[in-house]
Each structure stands twice: as structure tokens, then as C-alpha cells.
């Protein structure tokens, strides 16, 4: 595969940006080699600067549930931007996107648009603290909630720990307010509530944890979190930046039929443009300024072009059987791989929910907590990633990242991908023999 142009662009980018990128995972550090500079996308395919073509399962890390450059989304963007790109004043498009969401979602009554998932979560945490008048928050190891200070926290050792900062520049005093526990562990959550009685503002969780592998929780565990929050007058925050509009229109809340107190959205909601949102009951949302005393604002929030893209995309998601057909694509892809894979020594396991899938090299049948992932197994993913690129399949460049299937992925795409996986996995197995 020719890479000259990507290599030259990356050399130049390194002069301008730390690590040559504007978001760290793009630098390909965990799979090695040079990141591909993407020039164009259409449907399920992308083309890099050297003209190489790939079937794309990164889909911009999830937002592109209709694939690249969907004509309806593109036309909505064009039509809207011709009349101005931002006003700093309300537009009808904000109402339209809000109606589309709220009329089809019984779990929230009001929402606020922001410009990223990070911003949505940061605001949701402030809201939870403002509403409960408590400071501490509880999060889970292996859930990602964007890069705001109080959430860049890793578990220490022990059942219930104050986190250690996972980034320089985050004061220790900030993370002292963040309790970190393992996923799928009731005792740890119970102990946290016992130790910090009436101090915990909220539990925040990715109800479908998909940023550190795919760590599917049992419904019963999520139900337990709901109940312990209610019993302790703490709020339950579902961070649905990935799962919202992905696992059905109402995300994980709808999938498990559990009503959290606050939900955050991002990714799909903006049709590929920068949009995030957080929503809750009218009562909780009345704490937000200018109605309430929790301040939150944004110059480009509710941006009309981004709203138009979101409207166009979400309307498509509401088509009958949209999610059923997406899930069927993933089931088909994984079945094709599983049926044709010779069982080797690598134990590739394929996990999925809806249109999200994850490959792990493990002999475990279930992986439900971050510490069950063997970091050493990532060397296999590195080889797999390299082979798949050669075979024209693009996965996100990290073994901790999940893959996304879009409406644009065709049966031919999925067949080709399955063959590529089998060929790549067989080749890697031979390398080790």
C-alpha cells in the first residue's frame, strides 16, 4: 500500500500540532505506523490522501450512523449554511431538533444543546452537583466521559478509591471529589454510599461502556445503580454520548428501560457536526441558567448548521426497522467471521450489541470490567489492524476501541470485511507458530 502522501502530511502536521494530531488516538501510536490522512468519504467507504480505499468501521468514532456524506444530511447542511452559519440568537431549527428528540424519548422532558460530548458531561455533572448540593461523584474504571477535569481519573488500588489523576494538569483536590470503582461490582458501590453518606451527587456511567472495549453490563446491575441512587437521593447520570441514537433511538435508557435522572448525548446527535446535549426532567433542568442558578452557556450552542445536520440524520433513524436492520448487519458480519475462522491459539472473541462490535483476544466468554482486559493481548490487535488496512478495512487505531456499522454498509462490504478478518487472523496465527 502506498503511503507517501500520508507520511508527508504527517511530517508537516507534526510541526503544527502536538503529536501531529488534534486528538491523541488519531496518531496511531497504539498500532504503530503513520496515521492515514483521509481525503474523502462516501457511504461506507473512505479514501486516503494516497488514493487507497477502505471500508470504514470507525465512522468518525460513531457519529456517522448513515455513513459518510449522506445526501440528506449534506443537502440540509448546504441549504442551511446559505442563510448564515451562526447568529448567537435562537433559531427555529433548535426547536425542531429538540422536538424530534423529546417527542420520541420518554426519559427526558427538557434538554440543552452544547457543542461536544465532553461539554455535555461536564455540564451534567455541574447540574447534578447544583441540584443535590453535594460535591462527590462516583464513576467507573473503564468508562470514558470526555476530558473535563473531574473525570480524568483512574482507580487506585482497593475496592473504593479516590482516583488518581489520569492527566497532568488536573489538581489532586479536584479528583478527591471523584470516587472510582470497578464496573459490575455491587459491593464497591454499596461501600462508597456507606462511607460517603449524603455526599454523593451522582453516579455517572456509560450504560453500554464502549470506550475501553465493550464491557456490557447486566440489566440487573444497571437497575441496582438506579435503586441505590434513588435510596440515597443521588442522581443517576447515563452518559449516552456513544449509545444514544445508536442502540435504538432512546439509547441504553430505552434498551434496558431504566430511567436515569440525567442523560448526555453527543456523536450521532449532530449528524457529523459538533453537537452535544444533556437532558433531564423539567424539574431538574429548571436548575439551569437562566431559569436556575447552575450556569452553563455556549457561543455556538444550538448552531443552526449543526442542528440541520442533526435533524436530517435523526429523521432517518426514526424510519421503521432502522435499528433492526443495522443490528442484522453486525450479526451477519460476526457470523460470517465466526463460521469461517479456524480456531487458533489466539482466541479472538467477537462481542456486539446493536451496531457496535468489539474484537478481543481472550479466552473469557464475557468481559464486564476494565481489569479483565489483558493489556498484553493488544499486540495481537496491532497486527490485525495492520493486516486489515492492507486488505482495505479501516478500524479505529486501538484495540480498546469498538467498531461501528452504518446504514451505508452493504452486504458486499460485510462479506469482504469478513473475508479480510479471516485472512488477517489466519495470517497472524501463522506468525506466532
Ligand X SMILES: *Cc1c(COP(=O)(O)O)cnc(C)c1O
Reference 265, options 132, 138, 412, 107; nearest CA is 107
Among 37, 107, 113, 144, binds ligand X (CB under 6 A): 144
Q: How far is the CB of 338 from ligand X (least distance, A)?
A: 27
Q: Which of residues 231-260 bind ligand X (CB under 6 A)?
A: 239, 241-242
For residue 34, what are the β-bridge partners? none
Q: Which stretch binds ligand X (CB under 6 A): 42-50, 140-148, 248-256, 418-426?
A: 140-148
Residue 302 or 348: which CB sits closer to ligand X? Answer: 302
Among 36, 108, 111, 121, binds ligand X (CB under 6 A): 121
DSSP category for residue 367:
-
- Using a 10 angstrom Cβ sphere, with 0-12 exposed, 13-18 middle and 19 or more buried, the burial of residue 36 is buried
Reference 401, options 213, 119, 192; nearest CA is 213
Reference 36, options 68, 8, 77, 70; nearest CA is 8
Q: How far apart are CA 274 and CA 294, in angstroms?
A: 23
Site membership for ligand X, residue 206 (CB under 6 A): yes
Contact 353, 218 (CB under 8 A): no
Site membership for ligand X, residue 118 (CB under 6 A): yes
Q: How far apart are CA 307 and CA 317, in angstroms?
A: 15
Q: How far is the CB of 122 from ligand X (least distance, A)?
A: 9
Q: How far is the CB of 38 from ligand X (least distance, A)?
A: 18
Residue 28 or 144: which CB sits closer to ligand X? Answer: 144
Residue 118 or 301: which CB sits closer to ligand X? Answer: 118
For residue 239, what are the β-bridge partners? 264
Site membership for ligand X, residue 146 (CB under 6 A): yes
Q: Which residue is closest to ligand X by CB?
A: 117
Torsions phi, psi of 395, nearest 5?
Answer: -110, 160
Site membership for ligand X, residue 35 (CB under 6 A): no
Q: How far is the CB of 398 from ligand X (least distance, A)?
A: 13
Residue 49 or 225: which CB sits closer to ligand X? Answer: 225
Q: How far apart are CA 84 and CA 101, in angstroms?
A: 24
Catalytic residues, which ones?
144, 239, 267
Summarize as ranges the residues that interact with ligand X (CB under 6 A): 116-118, 121, 144-146, 206, 211, 239, 241-242, 266
Amino acid at each position: 500500500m502506498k503511503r507517501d502522501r500520508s507520511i508527508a502530511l504527517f511530517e508537516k502536521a507534526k510541526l503544527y500540532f502536538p503529536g501531529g494530531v488534534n486528538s491523541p488516538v488519531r496518531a496511531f501510536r497504539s498500532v504503530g505506523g503513520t496515521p492515514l490522512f483521509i481525503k474523502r468519504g462516501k457511504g461506507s467507504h473512505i479514501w486516503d490522501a494516497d488514493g487507497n480505499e477502505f471500508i470504514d468501521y470507525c465512522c468518525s468514532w460513531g457519529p456517522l450512523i448513515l455513513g459518510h456524506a449522506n445526501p440528506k444530511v449534506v443537502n440540509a447542511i448546504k441549504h442551511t449554511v446559505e442563510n448564515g452559519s451562526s447568529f448567537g440568537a435562537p433559531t427555529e431549527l433548535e426547536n425542531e431538533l429538540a422536538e424530534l428528540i423529546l417527542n420520541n424519548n420518554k426519559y427526558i422532558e427538557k434538554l440543552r444543546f452544547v457543542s461536544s460530548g465532553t461539554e455535555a458531561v461536564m455540564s451534567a455533572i455541574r447540574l447534578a452537583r447544583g441540584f443535590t448540593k453535594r460535591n462527590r461523584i462516583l464513576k467507573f474504571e473503564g468508562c470514558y466521559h470526555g476530558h473535563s477535569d473531574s473525570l480524568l481519573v483512574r482507580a487506585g488500588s482497593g475496592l473504593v478509591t479516590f482516583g488518581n489523576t489520569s492527566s497532568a494538569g488536573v489538581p489532586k483536590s479536584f479528583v478527591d471529589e471523584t470516587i472510582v470503582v470497578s464496573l459490575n461490582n455491587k459491593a464497591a458501590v454499596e461501600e462508597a454510599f456507606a462511607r460517603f453518606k449524603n455526599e454523593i451527587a451522582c453516579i455517572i456511567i456509560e450504560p453500554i461502556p464502549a470506550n475501553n472495549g465493550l464491557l456490557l453490563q447486566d440489566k440487573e446491575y444497571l437497575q441496582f445503580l438506579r435503586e441505590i441512587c434513588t435510596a440515597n437521593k443521588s442522581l443517576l447520570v447515563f452518559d449516552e454520548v456513544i449509545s444514544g441514537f445508536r442502540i435504538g433511538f432512546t439509547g441504553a435508557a430505552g434498551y434496558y428501560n431504566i430511567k436515569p435522572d440525567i442523560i448526555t448525548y453527543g456523536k450521532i446527535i449532530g449528524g457529523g457536526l459538533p453537537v452535544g446535549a444533556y437532558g433531564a426532567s423539567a424539574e431538574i433542568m429548571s436548575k439551569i441558567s437562566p431559569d436556575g442558578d447552575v450556569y452553563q452557556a455556549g457561543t455556538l450552542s444550538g448552531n443552526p448548521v449543526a442542528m440541520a445536520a442533526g435533524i436530517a440524520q435523526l429523521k432517518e433513524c426514526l424510519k421503521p426497522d432502522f435499528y433492526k436492520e443495522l443490528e442484522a448487519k453486525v450479526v451477519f458480519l460476526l457470523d460470517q467471521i465466526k463460521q469461517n475462522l479456524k480456531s487458533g491459539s489466539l482466541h479472538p472473541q467477537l462481542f456486539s450489541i446493536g451496531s457496535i462490535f468489539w474484537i478481543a483476544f481472550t479466552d473469557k466468554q464475557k468481559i464486564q470490567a476494565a481489569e479483565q482486559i489483558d493489556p498484553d493481548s493488544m499486540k495481537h490487535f496491532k497486527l490485525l489492524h495492520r493486516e486489515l488496512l492492507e486488505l482495505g478495512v479501516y478500524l479505529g487505531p486501538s484495540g480498546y476501541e469498538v467498531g461501528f456499522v452504518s446504514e451505508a454498509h452493504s452486504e458486499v462490504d460485510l462479506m469482504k470485511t469478513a473475508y479480510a478478518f479471516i485472512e488477517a487472523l489466519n495470517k497472524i496465527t501463522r506468525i506466532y507458530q
